[in-house]
Amino acid sequence: MTKKRFSRYIRPLAYLIDVTIINVLSCYFLTQGFVFHLFITLAWIGIAIGSSFYEVYRFTKIFNIFLKIVKQYFLFLLANFLYFGLSNGIYGRIDIIIYVSIAFLIILIVKLIIYYFLKYFRINYGGNYRNVLVIGDKTEKLVSFFKENPDYGYNLIRCFTSEEVKQGTYNHFFKFSKEYKINEIYISLSSFTDEEISRIISFADNNLIKIKLIFNRNSYLIRNLEIEYFGDNSIISLRKIELDELNNKILKRVFDIIFSLLVIIFVLSWLFPIIALLIKIESPGPALFKQNRHGLNNNLFKCFKFRSMHLNSSYLVHVKKEDSRVTKMGAFIRKTSIDELPQFFNVLMGDMSVVGPRPHMTAAHNMYLEIVDRYMLRHLIKPGITGLAQISGYRGEVEHDEDIINRVRYDIFYVQNWSILFDVKIIFKTVVNAISGEEKAY
């Protein structure tokens, strides 16, 4: 007896539950007629489709679920403001905010209950799973992933080598796939020719089996493939840079301007003179330090920092732990990242962004260019005050080649996976790290 899979019912059920919640609560908080209920139902569904609110899969991270909730919350809130603004309703903004906030709190709780229940169900009862086959060579990492993550709901039935698949003109492999009711087949591209892959795909299509392809290359190379069509020719671009899109450039620039102005007005306006005075008291000389750094498209710009070293110190070598060049005040502002705050002026001027790959000193830049493959990809966007590499443990001194290699790997991942919510996450983590202190902040 085969087990039935109920995955197809999860998303419609989620729609039904959420729409029921917003309508029931509206009866209590915002007593309105049929038109309002119809409006919020259609608005909810429309916003959810546009924002991919229900595109939650077994491999979706919990943080991404929270991001979807936040996005849906603000868009649905705006929709309610619009309705009452146009209809001259009797309810004010506070009433609307209370209604939407409570509704979303309940929806979040329900969503998390479903999410964790499905994980529990997969692990303990073997339900809501997919039978998968992995075929070809160099698939050890994927096989390990399936075995080590049973909560994702992938039931690895067997691994076939390329020779085993082709044995007996594929008949044994095809028979096995039908017998074990396989749902997905993962194919290592390097193990089969185009003709062989086409044959497997044809079989899969005729038996309602999904095909997924495994690239045997560095993951950050093919993380964001884009397919374009030139007539009948399919062209694959190795990477899609989200910030090449004009609307994304404008969104990031507006965010940078607003965020940097807030910091300059509410923080630097009073903190700048205090830090400058303390720096000059301990060590005569300018409070501000300027140095050439490489930015967007490898162009040079003057990067601002609070001076943290004695005046005649060499700035061509990275600071090490207990470095004699660093003043006592300098050690404090470096530990708390206060020395980076003047770079918000760089952001305002357009040389930098709040979030992006950290700009390196010219000497270090030239050295890394020689030893790190694809190093220049990090210069496809503006450098940042903070970045993904810095919150992932790769800030400060480069002690080993692996440090800069991993830093660049994180930078490239950020370049290829940018979103405004990703920026917010990095900024939040940066603030947390600055408050708690970091081991390599010296």
User: Containing domain of residue 35, as a range?
Assistant: 7-125
Distance (Å, rounded) from C-alpha 248 to C-alpha 418? Answer: 9
Q: Which long-range contacts (CB under 8 A, 24 or more apart) does 266-269 make?
A: 267/341, 268/341, 268/342, 268/344
Q: For the chain, how many structural domains are there in total?
A: 3
Q: For the chain, 442 residues long, give each residue's pLDDT as a single digit of tens.
A: 334 444 566 778 888 899 999 899 988 888 778 888 898 899 888 888 877 788 776 666 777 778 888 888 899 999 888 888 777 767 778 888 898 899 989 988 988 888 778 777 766 665 567 889 998 888 888 888 888 877 677 888 889 888 888 877 788 889 899 998 898 899 888 888 888 888 888 888 888 788 888 875 544 445 556 665 555 555 556 556 788 888 888 889 999 999 999 999 999 999 999 999 999 998 888 899 898 999 998 899 999 999 988 776 555 556 666 677 888 898 888 888 899 999 999 999 999 999 999 998 888 888 888 888 888 888 989 999 999 999 988 876 666 778 888 899 899 889 988 988 899 999 999 888 887 766 655 4
Residues 72 and 21 in one domain: yes
Backbone CA torsion sign across 387, 391, 395, 398:
negative
Size of the chain in residues: 442
The last residue of one of the domains, among 76, 107, 125, is 125
Residues 250 and 387 in one domain: yes
Residues 339 and 427 in one domain: yes
Question: Is 259 inside a domain boundary?
Answer: yes
Strand 353-355 to 384-386 pairing:
parallel
| Residue 80, CA distances (Å) to 35, 328, 395 in order | 13, 54, 44
Q: Please, what is the angle between helix 269-282 and helix 328-335, to 10°?
A: 150
Which residues, in sequence order, are CB contacts of 346 under 8 Å at separation 6+?
301, 302, 303, 304, 352, 385
Residues 299 and 384 in one domain: yes
Contact of 329 with 335, CB cutoff 8 Å: no
Question: Is 284 inside a domain boundary?
Answer: yes
Distance (Å, rounded) from C-alpha 70 to C-alpha 111? Answer: 13
> Which value, to the nearest 10 degrees, does the dihedral of the CA atoms of residues 320, 321, 327, 329 take?
120
Phi, psi angle pair for 381, to nearest 5°: -130, 170
116 token code pair: 């964790």
- Tell me, what's the pLDDT at 111? 84
Number of Cβ within 10 Å of residue 365's Cβ equals 18
Question: Is 229 inside a domain boundary?
Answer: no
Residues 97 and 138 in one domain: no
Residue 27: enclosing H or E segment and its boundaries?
Answer: helix 7-29
Residues 107 and 168 in one domain: no
Contact of 2 with 41, CB cutoff 8 Å: no
The CATH number of the domain holding residue 147 is: 3.40.50.1980
| Residue 396, CA distances (Å) to 23, 319, 362, 386 in order | 52, 8, 16, 12
Question: Is 221 inside a domain boundary?
Answer: no
Contact of 174 with 199, CB cutoff 8 Å: no
Claim: this prediction has a pTM higher than 0.75: no
Contact of 305 with 340, CB cutoff 8 Å: yes
Residues 296 and 388 in one domain: yes
Residues 69 and 109 in one domain: yes
Contact of 187 with 209, CB cutoff 8 Å: no
| Residue 195, CA distances (Å) to 164, 182, 198, 200, 272 in order | 17, 22, 5, 9, 66
DSSP assignment letter at 268: I
Question: Is 179 inside a domain boundary?
Answer: yes
Phi, psi angle pair for 284, to nearest 5°: -55, 145
Residues 202 and 327 in one domain: no
127 token code pair: 């339900």
Residues 53 and 137 in one domain: no
Question: Is 238 inside a domain boundary?
Answer: no
Give 400-415 as a DSSP string.
SHHHHHHHHHHHHHHH
Distance (Å, rounded) from C-alpha 47 to C-alpha 16? Answer: 15
The last residue of one of the domains, among 92, 125, 158, is 125
Question: Is 239 inside a domain boundary?
Answer: no
Give 312-343 as a DSSP string.
T---SS---TT-TTB-HHHHHHHHTTGGGTTH
Bridge-partner residues for 384, per DSSP? Answer: 353
Residues 304 and 386 in one domain: yes
Residues 120 and 136 in one domain: no
Nearest residue to 388 (alpha-carbon basis) of 216, 261, 220: 220
Contact of 292 with 302, CB cutoff 8 Å: yes
Rg (CA), the chain: 27
The last residue of one of the domains, among 66, 101, 125, is 125
Question: Is 212 inside a domain boundary?
Answer: yes
